[in-house]
């Protein structure tokens, strides 16, 4: 419960990261979600990823829309900046914040309703513009907060808890993100922390629009036997194409898997993605092949997970707009307001 303060004391021997912070320093308030909700596991993966990356919590901004998923930023990174926006509007608020202050790590958390229905346009434009962010959708196929209506990611023919079949085609958000120009796209499952934590770390390190679709079962409204977003269904139909390790800084690279099944991809910031390949022919840097593969496996009823697509030398919105390197809040009056003569010159150039 959010009103129950977690005791500040913790075991003196809890592991510390490079900043001397413990896991507890990355936690938030006690969750009010239903016990067993997939979203809580994703919060825990975000905490783990930020702890392992030694991110200073005050350099992170977490933004969300409306929904059970969008409530979750309260339950992690309690010392970070947070903004709970309007339903479906997280992407534009995040874009504005990023343009004003490019020095923060931006984490957008949304739901399948928040992103694939009311916020679909916002999602599309933030991705195609290359906003430097990690955009996570906690995808349960329903509007959990408003009691379980089908969302736009619910599979066609998949029944609700009361047996009514969904008539509409499903939107595949990961496939959409690749098509829209995201330069890092992953899909994972809330029940697979081994896959999810490194994906989140790599997405945070990625400079550009990084999108992760996380299947996150709603235990209250969409975890019944016939649901394609239930824990059992996802476990049985999960086709992981790779598992990831992220190597940041100058740590030596150890190849502990059989040569040939490991692929190294260097990102713009020097971080290295070490991919343990499970599908031998899957190349996450080949956009067209990735799209075809996703559609083929989807038609066969499989849910492809892992790092689906990455463009290691991606550009972000700041580069595209040729923005100043200094965040606006660190500029002085003279830089922010160059005076009426400069304005006059701009106006004259437009006449």
Ligand X SMILES: Cc1ncc(C[n+]2csc(CCOP(=O)(O)OP(=O)(O)O)c2C)c(N)n1
Enumerate binding residues for ligand X (CB under 6 A): 66-69, 87, 111-114, 118, 138, 140, 142-146, 151
Rounded Cα distance between 310 and 203, Å, is 10
Which option in ligand X, ligand SF4, Mg ion, none does residue 114 bind, with CB closer than 5 to 8 A by kind?
Answer: ligand X
> Which of 27, 39, 44, 130: binder of ligand SF4 (CB under 6 A)?
39
Nearest CA-CA partner of 185 in 228, 123, 248: 123
From residue 121, give the alpha-carbon distance in Å to each of 128, 140, 146, 283: 11, 20, 21, 29
Q: Is 233 in the site for ligand SF4 (CB under 6 A)?
A: no
Q: Tell me the residue number closest to ligand SF4, measured at CB.
A: 144
> Which of 204, 218, 303, 314: binder of ligand SF4 (CB under 6 A)?
218
Closest distance of CB 146 from ligand X, Å: 5
> Which of 144, 159, 186, 198: binder of ligand SF4 (CB under 6 A)?
144
> Which of 203, 209, 219, 247: binder of ligand SF4 (CB under 6 A)?
219
Residues 72 and 33 sit within 8 Å (Cβ to Cβ):
yes
Which option in ligand X, ligand SF4, Mg ion, none does residue 89 bind, with CB closer than 5 to 8 A by kind?
Answer: none
Rounded Cα distance between 134 and 186, Å, is 11
Q: Tell me the residue number closest to ligand X, measured at CB.
A: 111
Residue closer to ligand X by CB (options 146, 292) is 146
Rounded Cα distance between 56 and 129, Å, is 27
Rounded Cα distance between 231 and 221, Å, is 12
The one segment of 30-38, 123-131, 207-215, 291-299 that binds ligand SF4 by CB under 6 A: 30-38
Site string for Mg ion, 96-125 (x = CB under 5 A): ---------------xxx------------
Q: Is 140 in the site for ligand SF4 (CB under 6 A)?
A: yes
Judged by phi (left if over 0) then psi (alpha if -120 to 50, else beta), residue 291 lies in alpha
Q: Which residues pair with 161 in a beta bridge?
A: none
Which option in Mg ion, ligand X, ligand SF4, none does residue 34 bind, with CB closer than 5 to 8 A by kind?
Answer: ligand SF4
Nearest CA-CA partner of 99 in 312, 309, 316, 273: 316
Residue closer to ligand SF4 by CB (options 146, 261) is 146
Q: Is 221 in the site for ligand SF4 (CB under 6 A)?
A: yes
Q: Is 33 in the site for ligand SF4 (CB under 6 A)?
A: yes
Q: Is 231 in the site for ligand SF4 (CB under 6 A)?
A: no
> Which of 45, 60, 66, 68: binder of ligand SF4 (CB under 6 A)?
68
Which option in ligand SF4, Mg ion, ligand X, none does residue 53 bind, with CB closer than 5 to 8 A by kind?
Answer: none
The one segment of 74-82, 138-146, 149-157, 313-321 that binds ligand SF4 by CB under 6 A: 138-146
> Which of 117, 140, 238, 271: binder of Mg ion (CB under 5 A)?
140
Residue closer to ligand X by CB (options 146, 169) is 146
Residue closer to ligand SF4 by CB (options 108, 144) is 144
> What residue ranges bind ligand SF4 (CB under 6 A)?
33-34, 37, 39, 68, 140, 144-145, 218-221
């Amino acid at each position: 419960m959010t009103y129950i303060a977690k005791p500040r004391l913790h075991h003196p021997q809890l592991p510390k990261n490079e900043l001397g912070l413990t896991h507890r320093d990355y936690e938030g308030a006690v969750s009010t979600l239903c016990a067993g909700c997939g979203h809580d596991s994703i919060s825990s993966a975000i905490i783990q990823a930020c702890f392992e990356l030694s991110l200073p919590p005050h350099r992170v901004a977490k933004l969300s829309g409306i929904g059970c998923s969008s409530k979750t930023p309260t339950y992690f990174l309690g010392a970070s900046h947070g903004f709970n926006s309007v339903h479906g509007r997280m992407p534009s608020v995040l874009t504005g914040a990023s343009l004003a202050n490019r020095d923060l790590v931006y984490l957008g958390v949304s739901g399948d309703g928040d992103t694939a229905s009311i916020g679909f346009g916002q999602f599309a434009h933030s991705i195609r513009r290359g906003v430097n962010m990690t955009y996570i959708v906690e995808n349960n196929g329903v509007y959990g907060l408003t009691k379980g209506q089908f969302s736009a990611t619910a599979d066609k023919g998949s029944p609700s808890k009361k047996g009514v079949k969904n008539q509409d085609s499903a939107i595949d958000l990961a496939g959409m993100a690749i098509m829209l120009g995201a330069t890092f796209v992953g899909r994972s499952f809330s029940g697979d922390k081994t896959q999810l934590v490194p994906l989140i770390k790599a997405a945070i390190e990625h400079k550009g629009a990084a999108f992760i679709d996380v299947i996150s079962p709603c235990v209250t409204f969409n975890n019944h036997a016939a649901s394609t977003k239930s824990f059992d269904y996802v476990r049985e139909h999960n086709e992981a194409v790779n598992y990831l390790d992220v190597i940041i800084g100058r740590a030596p690279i150890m190849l502990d898997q059989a040569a040939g099944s490991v692929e190294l991809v260097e990102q713009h910031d020097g971080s290295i993605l070490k991919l343990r390949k499970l599908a031998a022919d899957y190349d996450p840097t080949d956009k067209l092949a990735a799209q075809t593969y996703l559609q083929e496996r989807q038609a066969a009823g499989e849910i492809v997970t892992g790092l689906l697509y990455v463009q290691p030398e991606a550009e972000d919105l700041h580069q595209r707009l040729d923005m100043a390197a200094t965040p606006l809040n660190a500029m002085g009056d003279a830089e922010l307001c160059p005076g009426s003569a400069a304005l006059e010159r701009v106006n004259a150039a437009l006449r």
